[in-house]
Amino acid sequence: MMVLACFAFTLGGCGGGAQRGAAYVDRLPLPADTMTVMMDELGRYGGRFVAGATSSPKTFNPIMANETSSNEIVQLLHISLTDLDYRTQADIPMLAKTWEISADGRTATFHLRRGACFSDGHPITSDDVKFCFDVVMDATLHPSMQDALAMDVDGKRVAYTYSAPDSYTFVLTSPVPDALILPHASNIRVLPRHVLEPAFKAGTFASMYNTATAPESLVTSGPFRLKSFAENQQTVLQRNPYWFGVDARGHRLPYLDEVVFRVAKDQEVAAQMFHAGELDGLDNTKPEDYRQYAAEQQTKDYTLHDVGPSFNTNFLWFNLNRVRSPEKGKHVGDPKVEPYKFAWFSNRDFRRAVSLAIDREAMIKGPFYGYGVKAWSIMTSGNARWYDSTITAPDFDPVASRSLLDQIGLVDRNGDGVREDAAGHPVSFSLLFNGDNKLRAAMATLLQDDLTKVGIRLVPSGVDFNTLVSKTRSEYQYDAWMLGLGSAVPADPAMGANFWKSSGITHYWDVKQPAGQTDTPAEGRLNELFQQHVSTTDLASRRASYHDMAQLLNDESFVIWLPTQQLRIPVSARFGNVHPSPMPHRILWNADRIFEKRPARKR
């Protein structure tokens, strides 16, 4: 693997540093409306940054991208109307130089920069923005971001409306006040209408900008463009010479000649590559490696950044999904799992008993090597804006766990150490997780031990990614899953509509419930609370509704929360303006201003 990576990478050898040739000279005139980027240090042109990745992107099309490996790259290739400052979590201008929000919180009017261009030199106008919204709202394509551009009004989903009244104005209107109208707009990245409209009209847009696209044909709006792609090896980006971002001296950004995402097959190989000097930064690290990273900082010329608790979560849930359309041997409304298991899983006290059986402190000391924290909602303690320390959930109390199980009639009837229900079924279930995640594999082993102590048999099973997707998105043939959610950008509860709402695709325990027909009263109440949460811009009201949503979810134990990792991110000390964040991409979110201060030296 490492030999292949070195062979494929001819410029600058196998190390992270490029051979510095002639300094870049910007020969293009700056646009009328440049964007001055704030930064700690004014940089210089040249160099490359090589980041570790554990998989290749599946697409370079931001509207069709659904996986982290794609999204982390497309955010450098394509921009949106506004952006987010990861350090302050404030909305900031991007393609839109300014904007206004109407007094009723329903309409955002964006004023675009004049002179902004795509990477082929073609002007960017509001027609390009409108084209991208047309694609997102297309009923046939139905990309995931479409769901965020509609609101519930009197029990019906009503879509946003939008228009481009002139070349440099774009207007977006929500049917009701929307607290996240700016982030919802910024989710739509700007693509070139002059390149992609024919494919959209022909019905082939979903396959456009795939990884087989020739780099010169992939026109971008962001600070970088594609230079080369080698599947399972690396993706190389180079600067967009037409980018409108500048530093305080008026020098066009980005500073770096190239940004490289180099693939390692897993976290262990990535760590080896970093220690060998083949990577300049690694944002996917294992807690057991932190001590070595800390010990070797000075000798290997890198900094181990303490980023705090991850915004990503870990949790398990039980399969409460029902048959939504007739199947062989099953009727609409029947549970997907065996009826006797559904009787356990749908019992709130069973779910709470499982949560009470879990020793999270032992999990933190074990698989997390002490670098973990308890988390009780999708907003972890790393999120200063939204973390709520008053949210509670059933924590470790094995005596209370056994008592609850006794009360619901699950007792050990034959003395074999495993409880049975009234019909004699052993209380046993399988727990699936993504098998390439060694941390979750270790967590599953501890869960198995904890549940054994209260008389429940858990059978852990790691599966591949394709199985994970099919079982959680379409088949629903499983007992329980342990997964989690990555951080949205911005990290705001309202960005999790698919998690909170009963119709959502990541409402894993019971997905895609029919509109207006929730399977439990608690689900209906969650929908109501979420609607309250997104329908006001008052922060205090939003915090109150978020608390109520999270507390209701925990009272029902629809998900059973597990610890989250404290993040330590190693980055070469050769680079300036590096500010790792818990949000993705944790290192390269501000790649337009990162610069190489000095050439690499061997590690």
As a whole number, mean pLDDT of residues 100-128 equals: 97
Full-model pTM: 0.85
Beta strands in 319-427 (DSSP E): 372-373
Give CA 187 to chain center in angstroms.
12
Q: What is the DSSP letter of 494?
A: G
Question: Which two three-digit tokens encode residue 464?
Answer: 């591949």
CATH of domain 314-489+559-564: 3.10.105.10
pLDDT above 70 for 12? no
pLDDT band at 503 (very low <50, low <70, confident <90, very high): confident
Percent with pLDDT over 90 in the chain: 80
Q: Where are the domains of the chain?
A: 1-56+231-307+574-603, 77-209, 314-489+559-564
pLDDT band at 5 (very low <50, low <70, confident <90, very high): very low
As a whole number, mean pLDDT of residues 36-60 equals: 95
What local confidence, expressed as pLDDT, does residue 144 receive? 80
pLDDT band at 417 (very low <50, low <70, confident <90, very high): very high
As a whole number, mean pLDDT of residues 452-459 equals: 98
Burial class (CB in 10 A: 0-12, 13-18, 19+), 285: buried
As a whole number, mean pLDDT of residues 309-326 equals: 94
In CATH terms, the superfamily for domain 1-56+231-307+574-603 is Periplasmic binding protein-like II (3.40.190.10)
pLDDT above 70 for 19? no
Instruction: Say how far apart CA 190 and CA 62 lie, in whole Å.
Output: 9
pLDDT band at 398 (very low <50, low <70, confident <90, very high): very high
pLDDT above 60 for 180? yes
User: At residue 165, what is the residue type?
Assistant: P
As a whole number, mean pLDDT of residues 543-561 equals: 98
Burial class (CB in 10 A: 0-12, 13-18, 19+), 67: middle
Candidate CATH numbers 3.40.50.20, 3.40.190.290, 3.90.76.10, 2.60.120.650; the one for domain 77-209: 3.90.76.10
As a whole number, mean pLDDT of residues 130-149 equals: 92
What local confidence, expressed as pLDDT, does residue 487 receive? 82
Spatial contact of 71 and 65, defined as CB atoms under 8 Å apart: yes
As a whole number, mean pLDDT of residues 173-197 equals: 94
